[in-house]
DNA sequence: TGAGCCACTTGATGCTCATCAACTTCGCTT
DNA sequence: AAGCGAAGTTGATGAGCATCAAGTGGCTCA
């Protein structure tokens, strides 16, 4: 458990988080890159209610989804029926890029479900490829996005593996802060969990019981207080101390 | 520990391996896609001896490396000085794609070192971007590669986490088979480990001591026999039984 | 040839977390 | 409001693996 700076409090916006987190710093949420607008111009808006699926494992890949608002969970179903949460895709991210990978019909390996009301721009594979053929700039921008996500996932995998469950939960909370965090009237950081504890557990590779017990220890250590799906973090630096920085 | 088909023996080439492994099936090693040849045309060949670094963490990203032959280890150095092996890049793969991500000077997050004699085509960032501007097909091909790697890493991360160390080692061996496996005179599958046990350990998120003990159990169960960096696998199906398929 | 170093092995011990089971609470339906 | 199922909590137990420590063997270098 490495000790960190522990200096001044850092209330809301973009705190320096070392390591992997750097990758997330740049144009993630915010508005689209401009370049990809061209791509989205050939798409249609789709809306989903909480629990709706954008696509399901085994279905044919038909196109890309640009998430405009809301949160999408990307899961994989194991042969034994349990769902593993692969990632949470937030506004500004792209889901379904596998559509572009394979030349011909290929099946989705994952399932994407809306965790709340979601607005997304769907761009069919054909339409996407058309644009990409004639507009190099667009695809370069898309490449950057996907390369970023690739790099992130690679590092995350390695880093996650030799971190304690406690540290992984801390990491999860911090990464949720970007899209699901705010500051309440007392100046405390608040985070609204977009998923159930079961999904939270599967996202960090542990079990719901363990999540419960970790919550217990977090509260005992005055690091984070959980009530339902709301989390209150009295001092962000204390939470940052937990992530055992890369 | 799920029981599998256990039917006929499968000697050398492309066995069906379920789950993640599917992703690797397609154009991985083999020859380049043709499209990327254009990209490589603007590059220069570089040669590295065992132990040489292609680039190091902290250095500026200057371009892409297409690995023509040999094996490259991509590592990340933690703040406490220990190296974590992120991935092994084999012939046909691309290393350093981060060069394209950031617009301006950006530092490598990882270190890439040659595990044996390596031949690579280096394409400077500027040169790459030039080609990409005018040849959409090229970038599309590059995009496919990176998207594939991204998807793989994402799934791997999730899958790896709730697998036993034993299963992860089995997985590692199977994935090494692609580029480091052959069949000996007795018809047994042989694998030449490209890394030390310490690196092997860090690659699967465990410790060298654990690797030792796992080897012990593998030998006790007649699954794989280790002598130095050579591994003999009497029956591939027995090894496949260990991976606790996705 | 021996000293030293590094990779690897082996053993003993304890911590973290999964598992199984029972119980509580919440949200939803009728 | 009662009843139900899913979500979450709590407790007891044990397996898996990290850790610390002490070896062994092979390698290089003086």
List where CATH 1.10.10.10 sits in chain B: 163-243
* Average pLDDT rounded to a whole number, residues B169-187: 94
pLDDT band at B104 (very low <50, low <70, confident <90, very high): low
Which among B102, B133, B157 is the nearest to A160, CB-wise?
Answer: B157
Q: Give CATH 2.60.120.10 domain extents, chain B.
A: 35-159
Residue corresponding to tokens 């080897």: B215
CATH architecture of the region A163-241? Orthogonal Bundle (1.10)
Chain A residues touching B151 at Cβ < 8 A: 97-98, 101, 109
Give the closest nucleotide to B226 (alpha carbon vs C1'): C8
Q: What is the distance between the alpha carbons of residues A50 and A65, in angstroms, rounded to a whole number?
A: 16
**Strand D contacted by B196 CB (< 7 A):** no
pLDDT of residue A187 exceeding 90: yes
The domain covering B35-159 belongs, at the CATH homologous superfamily level, to Jelly Rolls (2.60.120.10)
Q: Assess whether A209 (CB) lies less than 7 A from strand C.
A: yes
Give residue B113's pLDDT. 93
**What integer best gives the mean pLDDT of chain B?**
81
Rounded to two decimals, the pTM is 0.82
- Cα(B92)–Cα(A24) distance, integer angstroms: 28
Taking CB atoms and an 8 Å limit, are B149 and A150 in contact across chains? Answer: yes
Q: Which of B20-29, B121-130, B159-168, B196-205 has the lowest mean pLDDT?
A: B20-29
Question: Furthest-apart CA pair in chain A: how many Å?
Answer: 58
Using the beta-carbon criterion (under 8 Å), do A139 and B144 form an inter-chain contact? Answer: no
- Chain B residues in contact with A157 (beta carbon < 8 A): 86, 153, 156-157, 160
Q: Which of residues 188-207 of A touch strand C (CB under 7 A)?
A: 205-207
Is pLDDT at B12 greater than 50 in this prediction?
no
Q: Nearest-CA neighbor of B39 among B116, B112, B94, B101?
A: B94
What are the start and end residues of each CATH 2.60.120.10 domain in chain A?
Answer: 35-158
Residues of chain A with pLDDT > 70, as a percent, come to 82
Whose structure tokens read 């309440």? A184
Q: What is the Cα–Cα distance from A207 to A50, expressed in whole angstroms?
A: 24
CA of residue B198 to C1' of nucleotide C6, angstroms = 11
CB within 8 Å: B143 and A144: no
Q: Which CATH architecture has domain B163-243?
A: Orthogonal Bundle (1.10)
- Cβ of B163 near strand C (distance < 7 A): no
Q: Is the CB of B59 under 7 A from strand C?
A: no
Lowest mean pLDDT among A214-228, B65-79, B151-165, B196-210: B151-165
The listed CATH number (3.30.1360.80, 1.10.10.10, 3.50.50.60, 2.60.120.10) that belongs to domain A35-158: 2.60.120.10
**Residues of chain A contacting residue B162, judged by C-beta atoms under 8 Å apart:** 84, 205
Nearest DNA or RNA nucleotide to A209 (CA to C1'): D9
Q: Tell me which nucleotides of strand C come within 7 A of a protein CB.
A: 7-12, 16-21, 27
According to the model, what pLDDT value does residue B246 have?
A: 58
Contact present, A28 and A92 (Cβ < 8 Å):
yes
Looking at chain A, which residues constitute the CATH 1.10.10.10 domain(s)? 163-241
Q: In terms of pLDDT, which residue wins out, B148 or B17?
A: B148
Note the pLDDT tens digit of each residue in B31-40: 445 677 788 8
Between the ranges A98-102, B41-45, B94-98, where is the mean pLDDT highest? B41-45
Residue B101 pLDDT more than 90? no
For D20, nearest residue by CA–C1' is B209
């Amino acid at each position: 458990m490495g000790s960190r700076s522990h200096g001044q409090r850092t209330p809301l916006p973009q705190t320096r988080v070392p390591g992997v987190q750097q990758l997330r710093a740049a144009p993630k949420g915010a508005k689209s890159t401009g370049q990809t607008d061209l791509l989205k111009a050939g798409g249609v808006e789709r809306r989903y209610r909480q629990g709706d699926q954008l696509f399901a494992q085994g279905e044919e890949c038909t196109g890309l989804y640009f998430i405009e608002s809301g949160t999408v969970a990307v899961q994989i179903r194991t042969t034994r029926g349990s769902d593993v949460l692969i990632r949470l895709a937030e506004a500004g991210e792209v889901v379904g890029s596998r559509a572009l990978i394979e030349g011909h019909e290929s099946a989705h390996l994952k399932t994407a479900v809306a965790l709340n009301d979601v607005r997304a721009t769907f761009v069919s594979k054909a339409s996407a490829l058309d644009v990409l053929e004639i507009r190099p700039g667009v695809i370069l921008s898309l490449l950057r996005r996907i390369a970023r996500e690739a790099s992130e996932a690679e590092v995350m995998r390695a880093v996650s593996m030799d971190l304690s469950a406690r540290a992984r939960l801390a990491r999860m909370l911090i990464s949720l802060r970007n899209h699901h965090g705010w500051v309440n009237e007392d100046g405390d950081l608040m985070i609204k969990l977009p998923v159930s504890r079961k999904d939270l557990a599967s996202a960090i590779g542990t079990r719901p019981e363990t999540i419960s017990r970790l919550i217990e220890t977090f509260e005992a250590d005055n690091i984070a207080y959980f009530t339902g799906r709301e989390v209150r973090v009295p001092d962000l630096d204390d939470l940052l101390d937990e992530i055992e920085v890369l």
